[in-house]
Amino acid sequence: MFNFLPKNIQKVVMPPIKTHGIKTKLVRFILSNISWDGKGRWVEPFLGSGVVLFNIQPERALVNDINPHIIRLYQMIYNGDLTPEEVKSYLLSEGKKLLSNGEKYYYLVRERFNKTGNILDFIFLNRSCFNGLMRFNSKGEFNAAFCRDPNRLNQTHVSKIVSQIAQIQQIMRGKKWEFRIGDWKECIKTVEADDFVYFDPPYAGRNTDYYQKWTENETIELYRFIRQLPCGFALSTWLEDKHRKNEHIELYLQDFVKRKFTHFYRIGSYEEFRGTVIELLVIKSGYEV
């Protein structure tokens, strides 16, 4: 019988934005450990950068994120309301202004974005903020600092971003993908037996929020909720780092299939959140490779 997953990919498709906990280095590991026939929808309640979605490339998908700017960006690319040519023209123009005025211009764009929500400004900020750490305050305002490199949006870098947008636009073409903004629980209310849900929530205890605070209670609620799903699922989380272990694993996830992957984080808001981490992919029994 043909299975849509597992899947071996030669070259990882890179998304045009970066988020906390981006799965660029883990996507091959994830795709090679899940078994799914692909009959239903691929569902992601925590889309983040979209890197897993863009590499799986399902025919049908339901994807969601609490961050409205991420979903609006990908919805616009999907609909054809934002083109690679438009992004190129904007970033080259704004990149010149950034080179001339540096930090001052970055904060001008940040202020402008927080008033208008312009999606092109969102791309600008995401690719020129400090340490690649997209961050929002409690009011939903982008508040990451400048990366200190006024030449961050030079022609080479802009060409790379534009190529990434063109590639995912091509991947999306002809596919039935639905984009939603909101709570993860609302997203999975309608999942059916043939669907497969991939969860990539913020990692509790590792300070990886990028839009709203994610609490320990929400983590526990998610771990309890997945037991009710009528379909297959996989969940990304962490097992341990050099400082501590994730106590939730033995308490709430002990009876699921687990796959480990050692990963090194080079960015983080605090030094203690950088370094080697043992990542964990938790899989519903019967859907593992």
Residue pLDDT, tens place only, 124-181: 999 999 987 789 998 999 999 999 999 999 999 999 999 999 999 999 999 999 999 9
Place 20 in a pLDDT band, splitting at 50, 70 and 90: confident
Confidence check: pLDDT of 1 > 50: no
Separation of alpha carbons 84 and 187, rounded Å = 29
Q: What is the DSSP string of 131-179?
A: GG---B-TTS-B-PPB-S-TTTT-HHHHHHHHHHHHHHHHHHTT-EEEE
221-269 confidence digits (pLDDT tens)? 999 999 999 999 999 999 998 889 999 999 999 999 999 999 876 555 5
Separation of alpha carbons 212 and 119, rounded Å = 19
- For residue 285, the tally of other CB atoms under 10 A from its CB is 9
pLDDT of residue 242: 86
Domains and CATH numbers, the chain: 27-66+182-283 (3.40.50.150), 84-167 (1.10.1020.10)
Q: List the structure tokens of 102.
A: 């540096």
User: What are the beta bridge partners of residue 61?
Assistant: 42, 177
Separation of alpha carbons 159 and 27, rounded Å = 24
User: How are beta strands 60-65 and 232-241 bridged, if at all?
Assistant: unpaired
pLDDT of residue 204: 77
Q: Please identify which residue in the block is written with the tokens 């690679």.
A: 84
- For residue 249, the tally of other CB atoms under 10 A from its CB is 18
Percentage above 70 pLDDT, the chain: 94
Alpha helices in the chain (DSSP H): 27-31, 51-56, 68-79, 84-101, 103-116, 119-128, 155-172, 184-187, 216-225, 248-252
